[in-house]
Amino acid sequence: MGGCLTSPPHGGAPSEEDEESMSTASRLSSCCVAFQSLQISDKRPYFLCYDTHGGSTTTSTGSCRPLRLNGEGVTSPYSRFYIEPSRDHSGLVHIRCCYDNKYWAAAQQREHDDGCPVVVGTADEAEEDVSKPTCTLFRVIRATSSSIRLLHVHLDKYVCLPSSSSDDNVRMPEPGMLSLLAQDKEDIVTSFTIHDLSGQFVLPRHIALKGDNGKYLRALTIERHPYLQFSGRDVADEAVLHTVHTNVDGTFRVRSSHVGKLWRRSPNWIWTDTASDDGEDNDDTLFRSVRLSRTGAGDGGSFALQNMGNEYFCRRLTTEGKRSCLNAGTPTITADARLQLEEPVVSREICNVVFDLSEPRIYGRYVVTMATASALNGTTSNSTAAKLTLEYTDIEKRTWASTVSLKLGVTATIVCSRIPAIVEGGRVEVSADEFSGSYSWGSPVDKETAKEVAYEVTVPPRTRVTVTSTATRALFDIPFAYTQKDTLVDGRQVTYDMDDGLYTGVNCYDFKYVISEEETPETDPCARV
């Protein structure tokens, strides 16, 4: 895709109306970050990365994905993390993995039971109790003016990355695996540079920009120079189409599809005059996006563009004989620096959806009453048999979203076979159910199914027997990969293979039947069962 998105989502038993907010509340209230540091071995800066491809490690809590210092950029969901403030302890935070929304927790490696614990992305829910080994709270401590350290509150140990697998005093995990130690050592990494990605997002590959005057940004020649002017009226105009080329650090370069050249600051006007090879080492061709607002699911809201050559924001400017042209000349985000982003896409298909079912996150469990039915034997005769019918509507919620890439108001056709769900025993499995049709990306879809269950009970004399059907209802998050096929306004068809999908489902499972009896007076006027 295209340049750098954060979202990406509990006290008491929630109602069904609360479920959508539960699945996104933590993402909206937390900030998205990346942790960067140096590898001791080669002094090369890397990003902390959720290791989904290097295999799992066996710990006291089971098979878990480790965290390693081997990420090379921030545009991957594996290198992004959410810092979520504690509800009960001021100054403490939980840390979640962007890839699957799981929380950091401490665990003991099975092969190193006498060694230092490791940090893994394994907890489905935040644990606020600092006295419990399952506590997921960390304290952020400033190490230098540009770096921080992370202290696991329960163990009172620092997050670190050993460079050796053995030590005279403590058995170490394998090199590069995020661990916990009580003191500094020469051959470990204990501090990280933290990059706030909360206002940054990965732009789509193909974009059109609209200014505060309601006009599209259009490439045209003014005074024999290739300017960009907010004068376009139709997104189908080739001159308003632009292509984004993203770097691993989230910055990007933009090429005018009409001119075929990169944007460049000169001196503060933005021209489309630079060949791709010439712009690689030129900060004047480099930009960063800052997200300002979001108005709804699938809507990009407004954002600002910052040129990295002078670190000023781009705005619509009229001066020096130029009218409403793009100019990187304001140190703050003014009203004329707020831009609207659109995708020049006429149709989109999401297909080849592959769910990662290895370690689903299940959270927000609560028990609900599905149906109730009763039978009455108001006589003094013998016990009678009664057949009860329990009727209820089973409601499932399904949401397909992305944690990194931005999709802007384009209604897609999604083809997804074998939909996952929580089944008896609290496991997540895929079913024969499928979804195919028009879908607004990031919006929940309800599936309602009318069901009835026949249940036979024995009713003693002068007794009312009530059968109540209950179930556990919970949310679950599952990462998924997918293929996105777009048809652009100019007729081109482009295909992307994506790995930043996050599916959130809600359904009931573990159905139980509770039988209760209530004695009734002998004079009860009700009829016999």
Confidence band, pLDDT 50/70/90 cuts, at residue 40: low
Rounded Cα gap, residues 154 and 132, in angstroms: 7
The predicted-structure confidence for 87-105, as pLDDT tens digits, reads as follows 999 999 999 999 999 999 9
Place of tokens 């394998």: 174
Q: Is the dihedral of CA 200, 204, 205, 209 positive or negative?
A: negative
**What pLDDT score does 55 carry?**
53
Confidence band, pLDDT 50/70/90 cuts, at residue 24: very low
Rounded Cα gap, residues 48 and 58, in angstroms: 20
Nearest Cα to Cα of residue 474 among 421, 417, 420? 421
Confidence band, pLDDT 50/70/90 cuts, at residue 108: confident
Q: Are 419 and 433 in contact (CB under 8 A)?
A: yes
* Three-state secondary structure readout of 314-352: EEEEEECCEEEEEEEEECCCCHHHCEEEECCEEEEEEEE
Angle 120-474-395 (CA atoms, 0-180°, nearest 5)?
145
Structure tokens at 475: 């949310």
Mean pLDDT is lowest, of 44-58, 205-219, 251-265, 353-367, for 44-58
Higher per-residue pLDDT: 212 or 180: 212
Beta bridge partners of 187: none
Mean pLDDT of 423-430: 94
Structure tokens at 426: 């609290």
Nearest Cα to Cα of residue 343 among 229, 497, 230, 490? 490
Environment class of 321 (CB within 10 Å of its CB; exposed 0-12, middle 13-18, buried 19+) = exposed
Nearest Cα to Cα of residue 405 among 436, 441, 443? 441
Rounded Cα gap, residues 511 and 499, in angstroms: 34
Q: What is the pTM of this model?
A: 0.86
Rounded Cα gap, residues 488 and 348, in angstroms: 9
pLDDT at 206 exceeding the cut of 50? yes
Environment class of 295 (CB within 10 Å of its CB; exposed 0-12, middle 13-18, buried 19+) = exposed
372: left (phi over 0), alpha (psi -120 to 50) or beta: beta
Rounded Cα gap, residues 283 and 383, in angstroms: 87
Rounded Cα gap, residues 218 and 432, in angstroms: 48
The predicted-structure confidence for 119-140, as pLDDT tens digits, reads as follows 888 899 999 999 999 999 999 9
* 123 alpha carbon, distance to own chain's centre: 16
Please state, as a whole number, how many other Cβ atoms lie within 10 Å of the Cβ of residue 450: 8
Q: Are 516 and 468 in contact (CB under 8 A)?
A: yes
pLDDT at 454 exceeding the cut of 70? yes
Indicate the Cα dihedral angle 254, 260, 264, 266, nearest 10°: -150
Higher per-residue pLDDT: 172 or 510: 510
Higher per-residue pLDDT: 342 or 527: 342
- Please list the alpha-helical segments (H only) found in 31-181: none
pLDDT at 468 exceeding the cut of 80? yes
Q: How many helices (H) and strands (E) does the chain have?
A: 1, 36
Instruction: Report the chain's mean pLDDT, rounded to a whole number.
Output: 85
Class of domain 16-196: mainly beta
CATH fold match for the domains 16-196 and 347-519: no
Q: Are 513 and 469 in contact (CB under 8 A)?
A: yes
**What pLDDT score does 408 carry?**
81
Mean pLDDT of 341-347: 94
The predicted-structure confidence for 60-72, as pLDDT tens digits, reads as follows 555 677 888 888 8
DSSP output for 382-430: --EEEEEEEEEEEEEEEEEEESSB---S--EEEEEES-EEEETTTEEEE
Nearest Cα to Cα of residue 356 among 420, 431, 427, 441? 420
Q: Is the dihedral of CA 55, 105, 357, 496 positive or negative?
A: negative
pLDDT at 388 exceeding the cut of 80? yes
Q: Are 517 and 394 in contact (CB under 8 A)?
A: no
Indicate the Cα dihedral angle 380, 382, 387, 388, nearest 10°: 30
pLDDT at 7 exceeding the cut of 50? no
In angstroms, the Cα distances linking 390 to 118, 232, 384, 454, 508 are: 49, 61, 19, 6, 16
Class of domain 206-342: mainly beta
Q: Are 95 and 103 in contact (CB under 8 A)?
A: yes
Backbone angles phi, psi at 192, to 5 degrees: -135, 145
Q: Which fold has domain 347-519?
A: Proaerolysin; Chain A, domain 3 (2.170.15)
Environment class of 39 (CB within 10 Å of its CB; exposed 0-12, middle 13-18, buried 19+) = middle
Confidence band, pLDDT 50/70/90 cuts, at residue 188: confident
Mean pLDDT of 264-269: 96
Angle 192-176-249 (CA atoms, 0-180°, nearest 5)?
50
Please state, as a whole number, how many other Cβ atoms lie within 10 Å of the Cβ of residue 81: 27
Beta bridge partners of 436: 415
The predicted-structure confidence for 284-305, as pLDDT tens digits, reads as follows 999 999 888 654 444 456 889 9
**What are the residue ranges spanned by the domains of the chain?**
16-196, 206-342, 347-519
